[in-house]
């Protein structure tokens, strides 16, 4: 009687249990009941099954539209692997990911399709466009909408390959299984308190680790999804008021949009907000609370499906004055339900004392850890050294058990919720003829949390301006990866063996702050 675990079972339950309820709606767009949404899933699954063989990889490039959301169920329902693509990249970056993943079909919103057209043509990959002016609706209408059971033999099969920037110059493809994704979705349902009365607003990009599970989880309890293609303060408040939103997830930069006095309005009902990327400030929590939003910090990585901790508060702690509450919410908190073991460990793999002072690395062992990096066994072996997944985040554990990040071992910058590989940016900077040495580290930033800062040493007699370097990087990388600060030095600090000492440069930038991450 054992059946494989898969988040598709949450979708299946929603379709069966709540056929007359609204499943998905979009401002200035259509609405679909659960029965209608099911027919669209079955039609897309049949269309994909006709186009590519089983287990083939199908990429989706879309903002948060109802068509984009459909692919997270429709593609795996057809026993194909979904490859969500970040909407903010440049054609060169898409080309690498489509090649590396061996993608057989691309589903792209009409507004983004031009970024992948040339690569699809070059590689012979079919490109289906979605959105206004496309034939996507006609393509679905040509298929049978009758119920189609999904067939999954092994819960450890891959459901998505999600690309993440980390410590290497090329993004790594994180292979998440059906089991990973189901257990993460269940943790989301529990920690964020979803039920059949919930209305979930898609403010977090769905390509971010599968919308932190939000592309599947709310369907299981009959909640309504509100897709939001353009994330603006006024659009968020309009949706909250129009649809009675109860839940959303967002990076801290979006919280600043919500609290902007120019568009801010009190909510008609309480809204629970999950945020990650950097700890919410006391002022942000106070401003959000005054409007009716309850902020909950969560933490994780794409490699852990992704959420593994939540800064949950007791009833008494939620009643504390804002500064006291903010201090607790700013910590990454406790391991989430079903996250497995989340520990702060020494290099010898022993837990650090819960003294709020001893530093260690956050490590994870459990059902949410990825299957591995696609076609990258060396990186996979390194990440799993000693039988634990190494996050690269340096933290302490407080006497009450809460984890708090203090620094990073890995060369990654998290800016506005986006991961930026410092090594990737350095590689592009080195391609400029004037640059002799380049080191990129995180610079604290009040809006984005942290942004890339490039330390540059030039060839003798060479000259280049920050503006010229910015233009050079923009030719090859997404705008959010471009350094926002430049410092020119005659030489950059190195060890005796010639390795750059990034920690010294980070120390300069973060001097006077109580932690080296933001």
Domain ranges in the chain? 8-329, 341-408, 412-509
In the prediction, which pLDDT does 478 show? Answer: 95
Identify the architecture of domain 8-329 in CATH. Answer: 3-Layer(aba) Sandwich (3.40)
Put simply, whether the predicted model's pTM sits higher than 0.85 gets the answer yes
Domain 341-408 has CATH 1.10.3720.10: no
Structure tokens belonging to residue 463? 């000259």
In the prediction, which pLDDT does 169 show? Answer: 64
Contact (CB, 8 A) for 75 and 6: no
The tens-digit pLDDT sequence of the chain (518 residues) is 889 999 999 999 999 999 999 999 999 999 999 999 999 999 999 999 999 999 999 999 999 999 999 999 999 999 999 999 999 999 999 999 999 999 999 999 999 999 999 999 999 999 999 999 999 999 999 999 999 999 999 999 999 999 997 656 688 999 999 999 999 999 999 999 999 999 999 999 999 999 999 999 999 999 999 999 999 999 999 999 999 999 999 988 899 899 999 999 999 999 999 999 877 878 888 899 999 999 999 999 999 999 999 999 999 999 999 888 888 988 999 999 999 999 999 999 999 999 999 999 999 999 999 999 999 999 999 999 999 999 999 999 999 999 999 888 777 899 988 989 888 899 899 999 999 999 999 999 999 999 999 999 999 999 999 999 999 999 999 999 999 999 999 999 987 767 788 889 999 999 998 888 88
What class is the 412-509 domain?
A: alpha beta
In the prediction, which pLDDT does 330 show? Answer: 86
Structure tokens belonging to residue 264? 């801010």
- Cβ of 151: how many Cβ atoms within 10 Å? 10
Strand ranges in 427-497 using DSSP code E only, listed in sequence order: 435-445, 449-458, 485-488
Structure tokens belonging to residue 357? 């002072």
Residue bearing tokens 């302490």: 396
Q: Three-state DSSP class for 93? A: helix
Structure tokens belonging to residue 200? 């979930």
Helix axes 282-291, 322-329, angle to 10 degrees: 110
In the prediction, which pLDDT does 167 show? Answer: 59
Assess whether the region 8-329 and the region 341-408 belong to the same CATH fold.
no
Contact (CB, 8 A) for 99 and 122: no
Cα–Cα dist 205/227, whole Å: 10
Name the DSSP letter for residue 401: S
Cα dist from 431 to 453, 475, 502, whole Å: 17, 12, 20
In the prediction, which pLDDT does 122 show? Answer: 97
């Amino acid at each position: 009687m054992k059946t494989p675990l898969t988040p598709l079972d949450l979708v299946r339950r929603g379709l069966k249990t709540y056929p007359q309820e609204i499943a998905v709606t979009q401002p200035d767009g259509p609405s679909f009941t659960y029965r209608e949404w099911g027919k669209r899933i079955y039609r897309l699954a049949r269309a994909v099954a006709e186009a590519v063989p089983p287990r083939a990889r199908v990429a989706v490039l879309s903002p948060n539209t109802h068509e984009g959301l459909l692919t997270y169920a429709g593609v795996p329902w057809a026993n194909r692997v979904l490859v969500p693509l970040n909407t903010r990249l440049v054609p060169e970056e898409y080309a690498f990911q489509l090649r590396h993943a061996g993608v057989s079909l691309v589903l792209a919103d009409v507004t983004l399709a031009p970024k992948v057209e040339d690569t699809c043509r070059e590689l012979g990959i079919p490109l289906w466009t979605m959105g206004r002016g496309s034939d996507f609706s006609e393509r679905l209408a040509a298929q049978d909408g009758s119920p189609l059971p999904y067939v999954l033999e092994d819960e450890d099969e891959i459901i998505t390959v999600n690309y993440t920037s980390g410590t290497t110059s090329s993004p790594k493809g994180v292979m998440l299984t059906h089991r990973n994704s189901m257990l993460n979705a269940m943790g989301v349902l529990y920690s964020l308190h979803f039920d059949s009365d919930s209305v979930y607003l898609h403010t977090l990009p769905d390509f971010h680790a599968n919308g932190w599970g939000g592309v599947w989880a709310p369907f299981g309890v009959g909640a309504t999804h509100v897709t939001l293609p353009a994330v603006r303060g006024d659009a968020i408040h309009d949706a909250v008021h129009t649809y009675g939103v109860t839940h959303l997830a967002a990076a801290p930069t979006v919280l600043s949009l919500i609290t902007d006095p120019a568009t801010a309005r009190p909510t008609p009902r309480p809204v629970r907000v999950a945020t990650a990327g950097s700890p919410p400030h006391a002022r942000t929590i106070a401003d959000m609370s005054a409007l009716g939003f309850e902020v909950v910090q969560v933490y994780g990585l794409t490699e852990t499906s992704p959420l593994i901790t939540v800064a949950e508060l007791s009833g008494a702690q939620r009643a504390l004055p804002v500064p006291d509450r903010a201090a607790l919410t700013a910590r990454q908190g406790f391991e989430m339900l079903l996250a497995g073991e989340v520990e702060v460990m020494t290099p010898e793999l022993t837990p650090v004392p819960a003294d709020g002072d001893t530093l260690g690395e956050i490590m994870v062992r459990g059902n949410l850890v990825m299957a591995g990096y696609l076609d990258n066994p060396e990186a996979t072996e390194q990440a799993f050294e000693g039988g634990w997944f190494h996050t690269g985040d340096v933290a302490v554990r407080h006497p009450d058990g809460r984890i708090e990040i203090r620094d990073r071992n890995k060369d990654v910058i998290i800016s506005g919720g986006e991961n930026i590989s410092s090594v990737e940016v350095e590689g592009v900077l080195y391609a400029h003829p004037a640059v002799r040495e380049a080191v990129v580290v995180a610079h604290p930033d009040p809006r984005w949390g942290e942004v890339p800062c490039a330390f540059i040493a030039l060839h003798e007699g060479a000259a280049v301006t920050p503006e010229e370097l910015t233009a050079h990087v923009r030719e090859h990388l997404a705008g959010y990866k471009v350094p926002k600060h430049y410092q020119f030095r005659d030489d950059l600090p190195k060890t005796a063996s010639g390795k750059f000492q990034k920690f010294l440069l980070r120390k300069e930038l973060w001097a006077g702050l109580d932690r080296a991450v933001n």
